[in-house]
Structure 1
């Protein structure tokens, strides 16, 4: 414990930046507040362009040695980081729940184990990177994945550590160094990860963490000429600013920008399954980029679907996310709660009917909401709310279902529920989405490509796709002659 250390849910957390293997303070701070009860958790170092530049400089200085480290040794250190995550899993879970309000049971059973898995998977996958050599008129082609350089990773608040390590792990496994900028509404587990990485033997400067507001340090990071990759998860407007900032240096970008995903329910579907999947969209208080917030139901079963949905959703328990029985916790921040409420109020004013919810539960939470009688071109159908708000529309046939599903500017994911395999094949082939789930939801494999189409993003990560992004691919062509062999 030091004079700088915060105690959060009984866990010591250092609120300073982590730059070049050392804790670094800033002249200013910002207050981190728990969404559970509005209590101030402590003052966090508020980064400036000076700290951002220092972090990039540290990453640049550490890059040559880390890039030259054999893949197997890099993998060994990443596995040691995963060991550290598993050792401190309970601490990470309670700190993140306190910091962002997501369910403690989910952090314990799913999210934090996935954090460790991120490191193990990409460590092991890096050892498999290989492309069979091939011949061109007697010349040999050899493909290699070369480390790109310092990477800036900018991550959101809804699943802070899991989404950060989804980027950090492949970047490090590829031989790059990293500057992580966590969301200012949920910065704490990023600081704990820096400690874990250092204890695992990650060299100084390979991972750096700079906290603060994107409006104050974002440009200093994304416009820096020494940054070789930028990966961002967040909103479309912020992505546009990042792209403009990165453009002068042509810095490659990977952007995951959320969506307005549909859930299509056909009359031949298992309605109980369809209802279960629809109610699941309230997970994490609706603060999930992949959530299928637009429910599209074939009109012949819409009434029965709605009846079952209302009954199922009515059994959800809303409350303290630290309690085992709680299904829906608080919204991350009062500003986000106001935003959600504004969307619903404007929708109702425009003619939408509230089936359930439609109101604040208290100053921290919003009731699970379902709206019907919404126009396809309305704000509530077209724009991402990022809260526990779903809309329900009906369709007459397959063509109309696809038309409604694809009629937004997004294309991150889609979910389809049907008992007809041929229909599933037809419809999934017509949908615009980076991921389509059929009779299931949120089944994710790190080997699979992940990303969105249209305004849902640029690029894909996962498996080899991650290394294609975080590396410079090189093809070496060697002639069969010209060697001075003295064997």
Structure 2
């Protein structure tokens, strides 16, 4: 047991309705001050296999529960999240360094919403029967089995429950492997599911490092679905492990998204949206890190952007007045700094930032904006996943589209324009799973979510989630009466 911000957190795995320890553990370090806040059970192949076994045993009964009962339990989990909202928020802030105000106002309420949404969607899931030469076709969604869910550290509980909620709603059992840099709210969620009455083994949590516990988990032939959010290199390892078993995958990977500002845009809005890309210290896969600004307004845009960015307050994320907190981990901090240093060596000019915040020390990295970047440079084409943006200019709509589509990623894009016609033309040509026009980060669970190219494969959300987490079946009934 660990005490984090006066909240008691179990450090063991959650397997088959029991807390399980491991022979070894690992230090969970807060990025705020570098202090060890928990010593978490370090799982391996044995724990991965035990969790899959527990999930497999629980699957037959859980898969046969009625939709109404599954929906009731998901709502009970949401109730438990809301009851503990402040505790979840402070633990996650301490664990991963994201802003407490964001956790309180948006992130943790969204966790509860994830469960409620998929509970309600389950009850309306279905399509009208249709006829083929007098035969009746009936489409159904059958639970697939054990789902292995591997989730990232930048919004640990919210991103995990985007996967957990539909997987459970579909009638599957779950083995969650949370990121080792931010595992604690997954442990708290296990307590919440038990209190809500979720049967033992339906939801399991195995903790540890990807190569030790994640690798045997995704290679287990008993796993019927794998959903992963994280880096492209890790996704390649997961896909290779899943291939011998032909396990279906849903992969939401990195991004290098463009934020395109046309000359007819509302500049105040454009600047607000651009500065918003520093949210969560830049550790957001959807962030529009490539600012593409039409030439005739680039000088004014830059001046306004620098003024707004200078007003951002960096510091302790537990302070509700803070705008930017620390990076998650020393390893990630060094990675960001490496990108910045190489960009400077390649001739890029940092208009702001360009290095660590030496006033704060630790893992605080200054918000950075580069100009003078080459189109083929690393800083333009590779995901930094930190508070680092680039600014490039374009002349024409055609050039803007060409620049926007020039990387290997295709997760999201943002357009700022005063012309509906231009917005429609450009959005239609962008390679992206999500395009925002004059807005950013509006996410409705009814909509499909995922990426193109190296940003992933598959879509989740609404019916798309159930299509992935289920075996979709069509039953064809012959016309006429029945004998007997």
- Range of TM-score over shorter length: over 0.9
Deviates more, 1:476-485 or 1:224-233: 476-485
Of residues 107, 111, 117, the one that matches 2:103 is: 107
Aligned pair partner of 2:341 in 317, 340, 345: 345
Q: Give the match for residue 316 of structure 2.
A: 320
| Residue 158 of structure 2 corresponds to residue 162 of structure 1 | yes
Q: Aligned ranges for residues 362-441 of structure 1 at < 5 Å?
A: 362-441=361-440
Corresponding residue SS for 2:250: strand
Aligned to 1:175: 171
* 2-structure distance, mates of 1:153, 1:15: 19
Corresponding residue pairs, total: 481
CA distance in 2: counterparts of 1:141 and 1:219, whole angstroms? 40
Report if aligned partners of 2:34, 2:362 keep a CA contact under 8 Å in 1.
Answer: no
Look up the match of 2:112. 116
Residue 141 (structure 2) pairs with residue 142 (structure 1): no
My pick for the range that moved more, 385-394 or 475-484, is: 475-484
Q: String of CA shifts for 1:159-185, please: whole Å, max 9, x gaps.
A: 000000000000000000000000000
2:447 corresponds in structure 1 to 448
Q: Deviations over 1:171-223 (max 9, x none)?
A: 00000000000000000000000000000000000000000000111221101
Structure 2 distance, partners of 1:274, 1:258, is 23
Which residue in 1 is equivalent to 2:330? Answer: 334
Alignment of 1:192-341 (within 5 A): 192-341=188-337
Report Cα offsets for 1:135-174 as digits up to 9, x if no partner. Answer: 1111110000000000000000000000000000000000
SS of 1:127 mapped into structure 2: helix
In structure 1, runs of 5+ residues without a counterpart are: none
Secondary structure at the aligned position of 1:320 is classed as coil
CA positional deviation for 1:482: 6.3
Counterparts of 1:83 and 1:481 in 2: how far apart (Å)?
48
**What is the distance in 2 between the residues matched to 1:91 and 1:219?**
31
What's the counterpart of residue 77 of structure 1?
A: 73
Cα distance in 1, alignment partners of residues 318 and 77 from structure 2: 26
Corresponding residue for residue 479 of structure 1? 478
Q: Please, what is the CA RMSD of the aligned residues?
A: 0.6
Q: Distance in 1 between matches of 2:478 and 2:434?
A: 42
Q: Deviations over 1:449-476 (max 9, x none)?
A: 0000000000000001000000000000
Contact conserved, 2:355 with 2:365, CA < 8 A, in 1? yes
1:83-115 superposed Cα distances (whole Å, 9 cap, x missing partner) = 000000000000000000000000001000000
Q: Is the 8 A contact 2:33 2:362 kept in 1?
A: no
After TM superposition, the runs of 4+ consecutive aligned structure 1 residues lying more than 2 A away are none
TM-score (norm 2): 0.99
Within-5 A mapping of 1:60-99: 60-99=56-95
